[in-house]
Amino acid sequence: MHALDKVEYVEAAPVAQRAWLARQPILDRHGATYAHELLFRSGPTNRAIFSDGSQAAAQTIMTAFTEMDLGEVVGRGKAFFNVTREVLLSPAIEALPKHRVVLEVLETVRIDDALIARMKELRDGGFHLAIDDFGLRDELWALVDLADVVKVDLLPLDDAQLEETTRRLKSTGVKLLAEKVETREQHERVRELGYDYFQGYFFQVPEMLSAQKLPQARLETMQLMAKVQREDTPLSELERLISADAALSYRLLRLLASAAYARAHKVDSVHRAIVMLGRQKLSQWVTLLALAGLDDQPPALLATAMLRARMCELLGEQIGRHDPATFYSAGLFSLLDVMMGRPMKELLASMPISRELEAALLKRKGTVGATLRAVADYEQGEWRSIDLVRLPPEDFADAYFAAVRWSAQVMGELGLI
């Protein structure tokens, strides 16, 4: 069992402001946890109450990946997710990390050529597929050759039916998972029949997990920042994302038309802004503007993050580092946990940042971390950590006042002060 027993980020949050799901371990023949099935829960009562199966399936996936940290929920194992026909056919499913998930096709699914073609497409693309609650429905046999795992429901089968079903399935080479194992006798019987995996109340009832919901504006901001931080995100995709947010597009173009970014040629489109800035600067500005767009954010908090970002960047240049943008990101993200109301470790887990930047933000380690520590101390009038950066005090003073001027100018151009 993974060491995490419960996901609880803010104990006092009202039920309506929390996201819920349940997990149940799937064990191998040695009793080790192979994976977890993640199950929809509408609240703290450990019951699945819903009217739309596709919505419940999508919400479970979103909760695991955006409200919680999948690594904390399932450890290094895989996560089994129930998927309806609608979810399976959706292109959005392809965004999931195929090495971490198993798509569990519900036994009630309508089977036709379109479904079979889609399952083949996903399997050929590297996704792992399972068939849920395999029992007495003969139509499900059409899907067996497309599955990596078949979950055999023990409840509707008598011993003769179980033995015959198992014999036929084993002849296909598919992995077998016995589910709804509720007694020691059932466990011993399916082990004897050669099952690979086991799940049920005999081992553990589904365990409730919850986390404070990230408000929609903050969730969208985190998703956008994750996109712009990824070096492999196509520029066309960035253009689409930025253009889809009217407020963000306006602020970006307004900023580039301002004195802070005076240009000889007019920048009148997101496309031209991307061409002019380049990926690195675009990432910096879009991240800043996205944070500035949080309506209930105190301006002073953003101003401090901006000051830290610019001061860290200037000191990184003085140190002679080739990547001052990393220093900028460290300063800007240093207050991300306060802005988002979530633990820093959890927030960084959803963003593709370097290990150096992660160490700087979480532990103030490395050159970037030492610089961030010194900057945060300097703004409080503390000088003790300046020696860690090995720059003369006048460099800190110059960087500080330059950062103050820059952040005030940008905040003014954005109408935030």
- Quote the mean pLDDT of the chain: 82
In angstroms, the CA 224 to CA 28 distance is 39
Distance separating alpha carbons of residues 130 and 81, to the nearest angstrom: 9
Give me the sign of the Cα torsion angle 225, 228, 232, 236.
Answer: positive
Side-chain-side CA neighbours of 341 within 13 Å: the count stands at 18
Which residues neighbour 240 within 8 Å (Cβ) at sequence distance 6 or greater? Answer: none
Q: What is the pLDDT of residue 49?
A: 46
Specify the higher pLDDT residue, 166 or 300: 166
The fold adopted by the segment(s) 216-413 is Hypothetical protein af1432 (1.10.3210)
In 63-206, where does DSSP find H-type helix? Answer: 70-74, 85-89, 113-124, 159-170, 184-192
Number of H helices, E strands in the chain: 17, 9
Q: Is 181 exposed, middle or buried (0-12, 13-18, 19+ CB in 10 A)?
A: buried
Q: What is the CA radius of gyration of the chain?
A: 26
Homologous superfamily (CATH) of 15-212 is EAL domain (3.20.20.450)
Whether 22 has a pLDDT exceeding 80, the answer reads: yes
What is the percent of the chain with per-residue pLDDT over 70, rounded to a whole number?
A: 83
CA distance 380 to 21: 42
Alpha helix locations (H) across 7-142? 53-62, 70-74, 85-89, 113-124
pLDDT of residue 282: 81
Residue 39, classed as helix, strand or coil, is: strand
DSSP string, 306-330: HHHHHHHHHHHHHHT-S-HHHHHHH
Closest CA to 242 of 189, 294, 285: 285
SS (H, E, C) 121-133: HHHHCCCEEEEEE
Q: How many CB atoms lie within 10 A of CB 398?
A: 16
| Class of residue 49 by CB neighbours under 10 A (exposed 0-12, middle 13-18, buried 19+) | exposed
Domain boundaries, the chain: 15-212, 216-413
Q: In angstroms, rounded to a whole number, what is the distance separating the alpha carbons of residues 131 and 120?
A: 13
Cβ(106)–Cβ(53) under 8 Å? yes
**Residue-wise pLDDT tens digits, 331-389:** 988 998 888 778 898 888 877 788 999 999 999 999 999 999 999 999 888 877 777 78
pLDDT (tens digit, 9 = 90+) per residue, 223-273? 677 777 777 788 888 888 787 766 677 677 766 765 445 455 566 677 888
Element (H, E) at 348: helix 344-349
Residue 410 and residue 393: Cα distance in Å, rounded? 26
DSSP category for residue 30: T
